[in-house]
Amino acid sequence: MIGVGKAKQYANVLDKPLSRGRQEVSLSAFAFLFSELVQYNQTQVDNIAELERRLEDAGYAVGARVLELLCHREKGNRRENRLLDILLFIHSTVWKVLFGKVADSLERGTEHEDEYMISEKELLVNRFISVPKDMGAFNCGAFVAGIVRGVLENAGFPAVVTAHFVPIEGQQRPRTTILIKFAEEVLQREARFG
Amino acid sequence: MASAAIYSLFIINKSGGLIYYKDYGSAGRTDTNDSLRLASLWHSMHAISQQLSPTPGCAGIDLLQADNFDLHCFQSLTGTKFFAVCETGAQNIEVLLKVIYELYTDFVLKNPFYEMEMPIRCELFDLNLAQVIQKDRVALLGR
Protein backbone atom coordinates (compact mmCIF):
# COMPACT_ATOMS: atom_id res chain seq x y z
CA MET A 1 0.00 0.00 0.00
CA ILE A 2 1.26 3.45 -0.84
CA GLY A 3 2.53 5.54 2.05
CA VAL A 4 2.26 2.66 4.49
CA GLY A 5 5.75 3.31 5.77
CA LYS A 6 4.84 6.77 6.94
CA ALA A 7 1.68 5.70 8.78
CA LYS A 8 1.66 6.14 12.52
CA GLN A 9 2.11 2.86 14.34
CA TYR A 10 -0.73 1.80 16.58
CA ALA A 11 -0.26 -0.86 19.21
CA ASN A 12 -3.79 -2.09 18.75
CA VAL A 13 -5.40 -2.31 15.35
CA LEU A 14 -8.73 -1.29 16.87
CA ASP A 15 -7.31 2.06 17.99
CA LYS A 16 -6.50 2.93 14.43
CA PRO A 17 -9.09 5.22 12.91
CA LEU A 18 -10.89 3.68 9.96
CA SER A 19 -9.57 5.25 6.78
CA ARG A 20 -11.89 7.77 5.25
CA GLY A 21 -11.71 6.04 1.95
CA ARG A 22 -13.27 7.97 -0.92
CA GLN A 23 -9.99 7.96 -2.83
CA GLU A 24 -10.61 7.19 -6.44
CA VAL A 25 -8.96 4.35 -8.30
CA SER A 26 -8.04 4.47 -11.94
CA LEU A 27 -10.97 3.52 -14.13
CA SER A 28 -8.62 1.85 -16.60
CA ALA A 29 -7.03 -0.28 -13.93
CA PHE A 30 -10.46 -1.34 -12.76
CA ALA A 31 -11.67 -2.00 -16.31
CA PHE A 32 -8.70 -4.27 -17.06
CA LEU A 33 -9.07 -6.12 -13.78
CA PHE A 34 -12.78 -6.61 -14.32
CA SER A 35 -12.16 -7.72 -17.88
CA GLU A 36 -9.71 -10.35 -16.61
CA LEU A 37 -12.22 -11.46 -13.99
CA VAL A 38 -14.81 -12.04 -16.70
CA GLN A 39 -12.30 -13.77 -18.99
CA TYR A 40 -11.07 -16.05 -16.22
CA ASN A 41 -14.58 -17.04 -15.26
CA GLN A 42 -15.40 -17.66 -18.89
CA THR A 43 -12.71 -20.33 -19.04
CA GLN A 44 -14.19 -22.07 -16.00
CA VAL A 45 -17.75 -22.50 -17.25
CA ASP A 46 -19.54 -24.06 -20.17
CA ASN A 47 -22.74 -22.06 -20.25
CA ILE A 48 -23.80 -18.47 -19.82
CA ALA A 49 -26.04 -19.02 -16.80
CA GLU A 50 -23.07 -20.46 -14.95
CA LEU A 51 -20.90 -17.48 -15.92
CA GLU A 52 -23.59 -15.15 -14.63
CA ARG A 53 -23.73 -17.07 -11.36
CA ARG A 54 -19.96 -16.92 -10.89
CA LEU A 55 -19.86 -13.17 -11.51
CA GLU A 56 -22.69 -12.76 -9.06
CA ASP A 57 -20.82 -14.76 -6.43
CA ALA A 58 -17.76 -12.57 -6.93
CA GLY A 59 -19.95 -9.52 -6.38
CA TYR A 60 -21.60 -11.08 -3.33
CA ALA A 61 -18.29 -11.10 -1.47
CA VAL A 62 -17.81 -7.41 -2.30
CA GLY A 63 -21.32 -6.56 -1.13
CA ALA A 64 -20.89 -8.33 2.21
CA ARG A 65 -17.70 -6.39 2.91
CA VAL A 66 -19.04 -3.08 1.68
CA LEU A 67 -22.03 -3.34 3.99
CA GLU A 68 -19.81 -3.98 6.98
CA LEU A 69 -17.49 -1.12 6.13
CA LEU A 70 -20.11 1.47 5.30
CA CYS A 71 -22.31 0.74 8.31
CA HIS A 72 -19.30 1.49 10.44
CA ARG A 73 -17.95 4.42 8.49
CA GLU A 74 -21.06 6.24 7.35
CA LYS A 75 -23.74 5.13 9.77
CA GLY A 76 -21.95 5.07 13.12
CA ASN A 77 -22.32 1.30 13.46
CA ARG A 78 -26.04 1.33 12.74
CA ARG A 79 -27.62 -0.82 10.11
CA GLU A 80 -30.88 -0.10 8.35
CA ASN A 81 -33.66 -2.52 9.19
CA ARG A 82 -36.50 -1.17 7.07
CA LEU A 83 -36.95 -2.20 3.49
CA LEU A 84 -37.04 1.26 1.94
CA ASP A 85 -34.16 2.51 4.07
CA ILE A 86 -31.84 -0.30 3.05
CA LEU A 87 -32.77 0.24 -0.60
CA LEU A 88 -32.01 3.95 -0.30
CA PHE A 89 -28.76 3.07 1.45
CA ILE A 90 -27.75 0.96 -1.57
CA HIS A 91 -29.05 3.48 -4.08
CA SER A 92 -27.13 6.39 -2.58
CA THR A 93 -24.41 5.46 -0.06
CA VAL A 94 -23.18 2.20 -1.57
CA TRP A 95 -23.42 3.47 -5.14
CA LYS A 96 -21.55 6.64 -4.29
CA VAL A 97 -18.68 4.81 -2.64
CA LEU A 98 -18.40 2.20 -5.39
CA PHE A 99 -19.21 4.21 -8.50
CA GLY A 100 -18.74 7.83 -7.47
CA LYS A 101 -22.37 8.73 -8.07
CA VAL A 102 -25.88 8.02 -6.90
CA ALA A 103 -27.77 5.43 -8.98
CA ASP A 104 -29.97 6.92 -11.71
CA SER A 105 -33.24 5.65 -10.33
CA LEU A 106 -34.86 3.43 -7.74
CA GLU A 107 -38.37 2.25 -8.54
CA ARG A 108 -40.89 -0.21 -7.26
CA GLY A 109 -42.03 -2.88 -9.70
CA THR A 110 -45.44 -2.13 -11.13
CA GLU A 111 -46.59 -5.72 -11.39
CA HIS A 112 -45.28 -7.24 -8.19
CA GLU A 113 -45.20 -5.75 -4.72
CA ASP A 114 -41.99 -7.51 -3.81
CA GLU A 115 -39.93 -6.23 -6.75
CA TYR A 116 -37.73 -3.18 -6.82
CA MET A 117 -35.50 -1.88 -9.56
CA ILE A 118 -32.31 0.13 -9.52
CA SER A 119 -31.58 1.48 -12.99
CA GLU A 120 -28.43 2.91 -14.38
CA LYS A 121 -28.09 4.43 -17.81
CA GLU A 122 -24.47 3.45 -18.13
CA LEU A 123 -23.31 1.01 -15.49
CA LEU A 124 -19.66 1.57 -14.66
CA VAL A 125 -18.68 -2.07 -15.11
CA ASN A 126 -20.30 -2.08 -18.55
CA ARG A 127 -18.65 1.14 -19.73
CA PHE A 128 -16.20 -0.61 -22.08
CA ILE A 129 -17.97 -3.90 -22.60
CA SER A 130 -19.84 -4.91 -25.73
CA VAL A 131 -21.54 -8.27 -25.29
CA PRO A 132 -21.40 -10.32 -28.50
CA LYS A 133 -24.73 -11.14 -30.12
CA ASP A 134 -24.32 -14.89 -29.62
CA MET A 135 -24.32 -14.45 -25.86
CA GLY A 136 -27.91 -13.27 -25.90
CA ALA A 137 -29.07 -11.23 -22.94
CA PHE A 138 -25.97 -11.80 -20.85
CA ASN A 139 -25.08 -8.74 -18.79
CA CYS A 140 -21.83 -8.23 -16.89
CA GLY A 141 -23.93 -6.21 -14.47
CA ALA A 142 -24.44 -9.62 -12.83
CA PHE A 143 -21.41 -8.62 -10.78
CA VAL A 144 -23.22 -5.52 -9.51
CA ALA A 145 -26.36 -7.58 -8.93
CA GLY A 146 -24.17 -9.79 -6.75
CA ILE A 147 -22.96 -6.76 -4.79
CA VAL A 148 -26.55 -5.70 -4.16
CA ARG A 149 -27.48 -9.21 -3.09
CA GLY A 150 -24.46 -9.31 -0.79
CA VAL A 151 -25.48 -6.10 0.93
CA LEU A 152 -29.14 -7.09 1.22
CA GLU A 153 -28.61 -10.62 2.41
CA ASN A 154 -26.08 -9.66 5.06
CA ALA A 155 -28.38 -6.92 6.27
CA GLY A 156 -31.12 -9.51 6.74
CA PHE A 157 -33.08 -8.99 3.55
CA PRO A 158 -32.71 -12.17 1.51
CA ALA A 159 -33.52 -11.48 -2.12
CA VAL A 160 -32.97 -12.70 -5.64
CA VAL A 161 -31.12 -10.04 -7.62
CA THR A 162 -30.61 -10.07 -11.38
CA ALA A 163 -29.24 -7.64 -13.97
CA HIS A 164 -31.02 -6.96 -17.25
CA PHE A 165 -30.59 -4.79 -20.30
CA VAL A 166 -33.63 -2.62 -20.90
CA PRO A 167 -33.80 -0.74 -24.20
CA ILE A 168 -34.68 2.95 -23.98
CA GLU A 169 -36.50 4.71 -26.75
CA GLY A 170 -34.41 7.01 -28.88
CA GLN A 171 -31.16 5.67 -27.45
CA GLN A 172 -28.79 3.26 -29.11
CA ARG A 173 -27.58 1.78 -25.85
CA PRO A 174 -29.91 -0.04 -23.47
CA ARG A 175 -29.78 0.80 -19.80
CA THR A 176 -29.08 -1.75 -17.11
CA THR A 177 -31.72 -2.52 -14.54
CA ILE A 178 -30.91 -4.38 -11.35
CA LEU A 179 -34.06 -6.26 -10.43
CA ILE A 180 -34.50 -7.09 -6.75
CA LYS A 181 -37.08 -9.66 -5.72
CA PHE A 182 -37.35 -9.94 -1.96
CA ALA A 183 -38.09 -13.17 -0.16
CA GLU A 184 -41.55 -13.57 1.32
CA GLU A 185 -40.35 -13.40 4.92
CA VAL A 186 -38.92 -9.93 4.33
CA LEU A 187 -42.29 -8.58 3.25
CA GLN A 188 -44.08 -10.31 6.10
CA ARG A 189 -41.71 -8.74 8.60
CA GLU A 190 -42.11 -5.39 6.91
CA ALA A 191 -45.90 -5.70 7.24
CA ARG A 192 -45.56 -6.43 10.95
CA PHE A 193 -43.45 -3.29 11.34
CA GLY A 194 -46.40 -1.40 9.99
CA MET B 1 -18.49 19.97 -49.86
CA ALA B 2 -20.48 16.86 -49.18
CA SER B 3 -17.68 14.33 -48.98
CA ALA B 4 -15.64 13.98 -45.84
CA ALA B 5 -11.90 14.17 -45.66
CA ILE B 6 -11.54 10.52 -44.74
CA TYR B 7 -12.36 7.81 -47.31
CA SER B 8 -11.64 4.65 -45.40
CA LEU B 9 -10.08 3.39 -42.21
CA PHE B 10 -8.03 0.23 -41.67
CA ILE B 11 -6.68 -1.36 -38.51
CA ILE B 12 -4.15 -4.17 -38.92
CA ASN B 13 -2.65 -6.37 -36.24
CA LYS B 14 1.07 -6.86 -35.74
CA SER B 15 1.28 -9.67 -38.26
CA GLY B 16 -0.47 -7.70 -40.98
CA GLY B 17 -3.94 -9.20 -40.72
CA LEU B 18 -6.83 -6.84 -41.25
CA ILE B 19 -8.84 -6.63 -38.05
CA TYR B 20 -11.04 -3.65 -38.83
CA TYR B 21 -12.15 -1.95 -42.00
CA LYS B 22 -14.62 0.84 -42.52
CA ASP B 23 -15.60 2.69 -45.66
CA TYR B 24 -16.65 6.34 -45.49
CA GLY B 25 -16.48 7.86 -48.95
CA SER B 26 -18.80 6.89 -51.76
CA ALA B 27 -15.84 7.04 -54.14
CA GLY B 28 -13.19 4.32 -54.09
CA ARG B 29 -15.19 1.56 -52.45
CA THR B 30 -13.16 -1.61 -52.18
CA ASP B 31 -14.48 -5.12 -51.71
CA THR B 32 -13.43 -7.35 -48.83
CA ASN B 33 -10.71 -9.17 -50.73
CA ASP B 34 -9.17 -5.94 -51.96
CA SER B 35 -9.16 -4.41 -48.52
CA LEU B 36 -7.50 -7.53 -47.06
CA ARG B 37 -4.87 -7.41 -49.79
CA LEU B 38 -4.30 -3.71 -49.32
CA ALA B 39 -3.87 -4.20 -45.59
CA SER B 40 -1.21 -6.89 -45.86
CA LEU B 41 0.50 -5.01 -48.70
CA TRP B 42 0.72 -1.93 -46.53
CA HIS B 43 2.09 -4.02 -43.69
CA SER B 44 4.93 -5.32 -45.88
CA MET B 45 5.67 -1.94 -47.41
CA HIS B 46 5.81 -0.42 -43.98
CA ALA B 47 8.28 -3.10 -42.85
CA ILE B 48 10.46 -2.76 -45.96
CA SER B 49 10.55 1.01 -45.66
CA GLN B 50 11.97 0.68 -42.16
CA GLN B 51 14.92 -1.29 -43.49
CA LEU B 52 15.43 0.83 -46.61
CA SER B 53 15.38 4.12 -44.76
CA PRO B 54 18.72 5.93 -44.80
CA THR B 55 18.08 7.43 -41.36
CA PRO B 56 18.61 5.14 -38.38
CA GLY B 57 15.68 4.47 -36.06
CA CYS B 58 13.06 4.90 -38.77
CA ALA B 59 9.63 3.68 -37.64
CA GLY B 60 8.14 3.24 -41.11
CA ILE B 61 5.95 5.28 -43.43
CA ASP B 62 3.78 7.87 -41.74
CA LEU B 63 2.34 9.49 -44.83
CA LEU B 64 2.00 8.42 -48.43
CA GLN B 65 0.97 11.13 -50.85
CA ALA B 66 -0.53 10.20 -54.18
CA ASP B 67 -2.26 12.23 -56.86
CA ASN B 68 -5.76 11.47 -55.65
CA PHE B 69 -5.38 10.59 -52.02
CA ASP B 70 -3.20 10.74 -48.93
CA LEU B 71 -2.58 7.70 -46.77
CA HIS B 72 -1.84 8.47 -43.14
CA CYS B 73 -0.50 5.75 -40.89
CA PHE B 74 -0.11 5.55 -37.15
CA GLN B 75 1.68 2.64 -35.52
CA SER B 76 1.15 1.90 -31.85
CA LEU B 77 4.00 0.64 -29.66
CA THR B 78 2.71 -2.91 -29.88
CA GLY B 79 2.76 -2.89 -33.67
CA THR B 80 -0.93 -2.45 -34.34
CA LYS B 81 -1.26 -0.09 -37.27
CA PHE B 82 -4.07 2.36 -37.88
CA PHE B 83 -4.21 3.88 -41.32
CA ALA B 84 -6.65 6.09 -43.13
CA VAL B 85 -7.07 6.90 -46.79
CA CYS B 86 -8.04 10.58 -47.09
CA GLU B 87 -8.51 13.47 -49.43
CA THR B 88 -5.27 15.04 -50.60
CA GLY B 89 -4.13 17.69 -48.17
CA ALA B 90 -6.52 16.58 -45.43
CA GLN B 91 -5.52 18.13 -42.12
CA ASN B 92 -5.31 16.74 -38.61
CA ILE B 93 -5.54 13.10 -39.63
CA GLU B 94 -2.66 12.19 -37.28
CA VAL B 95 -4.72 13.56 -34.41
CA LEU B 96 -7.79 11.68 -35.59
CA LEU B 97 -5.82 8.43 -35.79
CA LYS B 98 -4.60 8.93 -32.24
CA VAL B 99 -8.16 9.49 -31.07
CA ILE B 100 -9.16 6.26 -32.83
CA TYR B 101 -6.25 4.49 -31.13
CA GLU B 102 -7.60 5.74 -27.82
CA LEU B 103 -11.04 4.34 -28.66
CA TYR B 104 -9.38 1.04 -29.56
CA THR B 105 -7.62 0.83 -26.19
CA ASP B 106 -10.85 1.67 -24.38
CA PHE B 107 -13.59 -0.21 -26.15
CA VAL B 108 -11.69 -3.10 -27.70
CA LEU B 109 -8.85 -3.94 -25.33
CA LYS B 110 -10.92 -3.50 -22.18
CA ASN B 111 -13.67 -5.69 -23.55
CA PRO B 112 -13.46 -9.18 -22.02
CA PHE B 113 -15.10 -10.70 -25.09
CA TYR B 114 -12.44 -9.49 -27.51
CA GLU B 115 -9.70 -11.88 -28.47
CA MET B 116 -6.36 -10.25 -29.17
CA GLU B 117 -5.31 -9.97 -32.83
CA MET B 118 -8.74 -11.07 -34.01
CA PRO B 119 -11.22 -9.03 -36.08
CA ILE B 120 -12.89 -6.31 -34.03
CA ARG B 121 -16.57 -6.84 -33.45
CA CYS B 122 -17.43 -4.49 -30.64
CA GLU B 123 -20.64 -2.53 -30.70
CA LEU B 124 -19.31 0.22 -28.44
CA PHE B 125 -16.22 0.71 -30.58
CA ASP B 126 -18.37 1.10 -33.71
CA LEU B 127 -20.67 3.52 -31.93
CA ASN B 128 -17.94 5.74 -30.57
CA LEU B 129 -15.95 5.63 -33.79
CA ALA B 130 -19.00 6.77 -35.75
CA GLN B 131 -19.38 9.65 -33.29
CA VAL B 132 -15.76 10.72 -33.66
CA ILE B 133 -15.90 10.61 -37.47
CA GLN B 134 -19.17 12.53 -37.41
CA LYS B 135 -17.65 15.18 -35.16
CA ASP B 136 -14.66 15.41 -37.46
CA ARG B 137 -16.98 15.91 -40.41
CA VAL B 138 -18.90 18.68 -38.67
CA ALA B 139 -15.66 20.42 -37.74
CA LEU B 140 -14.55 20.16 -41.35
CA LEU B 141 -17.78 21.64 -42.72
CA GLY B 142 -17.60 24.44 -40.18
CA ARG B 143 -14.21 25.50 -41.44
Cα–Cα distance measured from residue A187 to residue A43, given in angstroms and rounded to the nearest whole number: 39
A130 to B107: CB separation less than 8 angstroms, yes or no: yes
Question: pLDDT digits over A70-125, tens only?
Answer: 998 888 888 888 999 999 999 999 999 999 899 999 999 888 889 999 999 999 99
Give chain B positions within 8 Å (CB) of A38.
Answer: 112-113
Q: Is A4 in a helix, a strand, or coil?
A: coil
Q: Which chain A residue's Cα is nearest to B111?
A: A129
H-helix or E-strand spanning residue A108: strand A105-108
B125 touches chain A (CB under 8 A): yes
B113 to A32: CB separation less than 8 angstroms, yes or no: no
**Domain range list for chain B:** 6-142
Contacts of the segment A133-137: beta carbons below 8 A, 24+ positions apart? A135/A48, A135/B113, A136/A48, A137/A164, A137/A165
Pick the residue of A42, A128, A131, A135 with the most B CBs within 10 A to test the interface with B by mutation: A128
Contacts of the segment A122-125: beta carbons below 8 A, 24+ positions apart? A122/A173, A122/A175, A123/A176, A124/A27, A124/A98, A124/A99, A124/A100, A125/A34
Whether A34 has a pLDDT exceeding 90, the answer reads: yes
B112 touches chain A (CB under 8 A): yes
Give chain B positions within 8 Å (CB) of A28.
Answer: 110
The full 3-state SS of chain B, as one line of letters, equals: CCCCCEEEEEEECCCCCEEEEEECCCCCCCCHHHHHHHHHHHHHHHHHHHHHCCCCCCCCCCEEECCCCEEEEEECCCCCEEEEEECCCCCCHHHHHHHHHHHHHHHCCCCCCCCCCCCCCCHHHHHHHHHHHHHHHHHHHHC
Residue B26 has a pLDDT of 63
Give chain A positions within 8 Å (CB) of B106.
Answer: 128
Q: Is A79 in a helix, a strand, or coil?
A: coil
pLDDT mean across residues, chain A? 89
Per-residue pLDDT of chain B (143 residues; tens, 9 = 90+): 334 588 899 999 999 999 999 988 766 667 888 888 989 999 999 999 989 988 888 888 999 999 988 999 999 999 999 999 998 888 889 999 999 999 999 999 999 999 999 999 999 999 999 999 888 888 777 76
Residue B143 has a pLDDT of 62
Whether A155 has a pLDDT exceeding 90, the answer reads: yes
Give the mean model confidence (pLDDT) for residues A123-149. 93
B112 to A132: CB separation less than 8 angstroms, yes or no: no
Polymer length of chain A: 194
The distance of Cα A189 from the centroid of its chain, to the nearest Å, equals 24
* Residue in A159, A136, A137 with CA at minimum distance from that of residue A147: A159
Question: pLDDT digits over A37-47, tens only?
Answer: 999 999 999 99
Whether A5 has a pLDDT exceeding 60, the answer reads: no
Nearest C-alpha of chain B: how many angstroms from A140? 10
Residue B139 has a pLDDT of 79
Residue A22 has a pLDDT of 59
* CATH number listed for the domain at residues B6-142: 3.30.450.70
Q: Which chain A residue's Cα is nearest to B109?
A: A32
Nearest C-alpha of chain B: how many angstroms from A30? 10
The ipTM is: 0.84
Give the mean model confidence (pLDDT) for residues A45-69. 94
Q: Which chain A residue's Cα is nearest to B126?
A: A130
Give the mean model confidence (pLDDT) for residues A134-151. 93
B110 to A28: CB separation less than 8 angstroms, yes or no: yes
Residue B29 has a pLDDT of 67
CATH architecture of the domain formed by A26-193: 2-Layer Sandwich (3.30)
